[in-house]
Amino acid sequence: MANPEAVLTDVTGRDGFQMEKEWIPTDRKVEILNGILASGVKRLEATSFVSPKAVPQLKDAKEVLARINRGDAEIIVLVPNLKGAELAREAGADKINFVLSISETHNQKNVRRTVEESLGQLNEITGVFSPERIVLSLGTTFGCPFEGLYPVDKVQAVIEKVADMGLSQITLCDTTGMANPKQVTEFVRTLSARFPEQRFALHLHNTRGMGLANLIAGYQEGIRHFDAALGGIGGCPFAPGASGNVALDDVAHMLELMDVETGADLEGLIGTAGRMQEILGYELPGQVMKAGPAKTVHTV
């Protein structure tokens, strides 16, 4: 019997590419993203309208959006402020992702604002994008390298402040891979009970090797939307130790073995991950792209 389906959002184009120091030609970015879309992924966070000085790798955001084969996929763009939201609207993004950190210290390092100032900016953005077209990502949900681990109450307090904005899509982000399965279970259970109107998602990093375990903990508590990056690339340039996201291909493989439908073509993802590895010129951390699917039978 199949388990409830899961929705995968690929964040390679934004969270993945933003950490790359060597310039990736726009043609190659488009090639990779089109490969992901051709593999059946229906939600793509393609890029970010952020200052080119802060993240020069994403200065071609407008061109990337114009050139990807969108089809019927939902295209999301990360924005740090009102100006970014206006640019995303002009470029035809379906939705925007606004990131706000639970940690005051990380929020200052990431967007140079207090949490309250970011909340004010989010309120202004609801005048550009309707609330149903805004995804709110809560960075450092499960802990911060500058402030340590903290209780779920701190996260709950921030969500309560956006309750009147009409937002219904909140992503809980383990920005630096500090979460553990017990903590994910507790946080998701508590927040889902307190805010039943919200559709929570998980954005996990595999920094300490617990990414897939944390994803399963969230799935068992009812989470059905998950972010992932092809080959496990990515991280946050404003947080120490924020290594790669959970690998999209590893996640799709695991869920497929669990009879959880994702719509993703695993072989297509593995092929695109291999091509991306060639383009980037170093070995990616993803596992299934190296070992192959568990169902593969080798001849003796």
DSSP 9: E
Q: Which two tokens stand for residue 164?
A: 């009147």
φ, ψ of residue 27 to 5 degrees: the values are: -55, -40
Q: Which two tokens stand for residue 295?
A: 């169902």
Q: Are 80 and 97 in contact (CB under 8 A)?
A: no
Could you tell me the CA-to-CA distances from 17 to 77, 163, 179 in Å, in that order? 13, 32, 23
User: Choosing from 138, 162, 223, 236, which is the catalytic residue?
Assistant: 236
- The Cα–Cα gap between 159 and 170 comes to 9
Residue 144 designated active-site? no
The three-class DSSP label of residue 8 is strand
- The Cα–Cα gap between 12 and 230 comes to 6
Q: Are 235 and 245 in contact (CB under 8 A)?
A: yes
Q: Are 43 and 263 in contact (CB under 8 A)?
A: no
Q: Are 4 and 35 in contact (CB under 8 A)?
A: no
Q: Which two tokens stand for residue 136?
A: 């709110």
Indicate the Cα dihedral angle 106, 108, 112, 117, nearest 10°. 110
Q: Cα(first)–Cα(last) distance of the chain, in Å?
A: 32
Pairing of strands 7-10, 43-48: parallel
- The Cα–Cα gap between 232 and 96 comes to 22
Element (H, E) at 32: helix 26-38
Q: Which residues are identified as catalytic?
A: 236
